[in-house]
Structure 1
Amino acid sequence: MRPEPVEASDGGADGATDAFDPWLALQRVTDETRANIVADVVGHPKGAPSVDELDYINPSLEADTIRNHLKTLAEAGVVEELTVPAGQRTRGYPYKFYRVTEAARELFDRNGLFPAEAWQRQYERVEKTPEIRELEAMPRPEE
C-alpha cells in the first residue's frame, strides 16, 4: 500500500503548499549515496551542513555530485536549502546549507530511519581538519 501525500508548506510568501509524497521521498533515499548524504545531514552538529562539509565527509564524491544528489532530495521534499542573505555573507565561506525537512523527519521517525543520535555519534567520529571544524561552528540561517 502506497502512503498518501501530505500537504506541507513550501515556505513561500504566497502561502502555497506542495504535497509531500512519502513514497517518492523513500524512493529517493534508498539510493546508497543519497542515503549516506541524508545520514550526514542528520548527523551534522547543527543539522545543516554545507556542500564543503559534505564533500569532506564523502571524499569519494565530487562537490557537483553532492549538489546533484541534494537537488534530487530537495525535489522530493527530503531536504531544504537554507541560504545566508546576500548582505550577510562572508567571502570565502559557504552561504548555502541543507537540512532535513520536517515532513521527511516525521516520515523517518515513523519508520525508524536515520535516528539523529546514532548519526550524530557517527559524524563526530570522523577526524576533521581545523577548517572543517570552523565551518561546523558557523551559524546557520533559520529560514
Structure 2
Amino acid sequence: MNPPGHASGDEPDTWHLLQAVTTTSRANIVADIVGHPKGAPSVDELAKTNPSLEKDTIRGHLSVLKEVGVVEELVIPAGERTRGYPYKFYRLTERARTLFDSNDLFPESAWKRQYARLTRDAELRELERMPRPAPEQEHGDDPETEATAD
C-alpha cells in the first residue's frame, strides 16, 4: 500500500497534486509563480505579493507544493550568492504545468497580465531583476547555506 498522496513508486498522484493547489493561499502562490516575469520567484517576492502571509507560512506552503510535485526549487550555488539576497527560487514542475494546461488551470497569459498590474515598490523591482539559476545549475540543499533571505 502506498502512503497517502503517492501513486506507484514515490511520485505523488494527480489527485493529491491538484488537492494541494485548492487552498486559497497555495493557489495564490501558484498563480504568482505562473505570473512572475521570470517564472521563478523567491520567498521574498512571494511575501510581497501575498502580504497577508508570513514568510514562514509561505515556506510551509512551498514545502507542501514541492512534496506533491507542483513546484521545484532552484538554488544558486553557495559561491555565487550575494549576501542578503535570495538564493532559492521556485518554479512549476513540467508535470504540474502540463496538468494545469490540460485542465485550463492557472493559464499563464492571464496570470502574467494579473501580475503585471501589481504596484511594485523599489525592493520588489530589484528582486525581480535578480538572475535565476537555470535548472541544470541546481545543487539542492547545501551545507554552506547562509541564514539570510531565501
TM norm structure 2: 0.83
Distance in 2 of aligned mates of 1:115 and 1:134:
26
Instruction: Please state if 1:137 is matched with 2:129.
Output: yes
Partner residue, 1:19: 11
In the alignment, which of 66, 82, 96 is matched to residue 90 of structure 1? 82
**CA displacement 1:86-138 (0-9 Å, x = unmatched):** 00000111000000000000000000000011001101111011111111011
In the alignment, which of 99, 119, 130 is matched to residue 107 of structure 1? 99
Partner residue, 2:41: 49
Q: Which runs of 4+ in 1 moved over 6 A?
A: none
Native 8 Å contact 1:20 1:103 kept in 2:
no
The residue matched to 1:45 in structure 2 has which SS?
A: coil
Partner residue, 1:12: none
Native 8 Å contact 1:55 1:62 kept in 2:
yes
Paired AA for residue 96 in structure 1: K
Distance in 1 of aligned mates of 2:67 and 2:12:
10
Distance in 1 of aligned mates of 2:82 and 2:76:
9
Instruction: Please state if 1:58 is matched with 2:50.
Output: yes
Instruction: Please state if 1:37 is matched with 2:50.
Output: no
Distance in 1 of aligned mates of 2:12 and 2:111:
24
Native 8 Å contact 2:20 2:68 kept in 1:
yes
The residue matched to 1:127 in structure 2 has which SS?
A: coil
Partner residue, 1:124: 116
Paired AA for residue 64 in structure 2: T
Per the TM alignment, residue 18 of structure 1 is displaced from its structure 2 partner at its CA by 4.5
Paired AA for residue 31 in structure 1: T
Distance in 1 of aligned mates of 2:122 and 2:26:
26
In the alignment, which of 57, 60, 74 is matched to residue 68 of structure 1? 60
Alignment length (residue pairs): 130
- RMSD (CA atoms): 1.6
Native 8 Å contact 1:77 1:104 kept in 2:
yes
Q: Percent identical across equivalent pairs?
A: 67
**CA displacement 1:36-92 (0-9 Å, x = unmatched):** 100000000000000000000011000000000000000000000100000000011
Distance in 2 of aligned mates of 1:134 and 1:68:
25
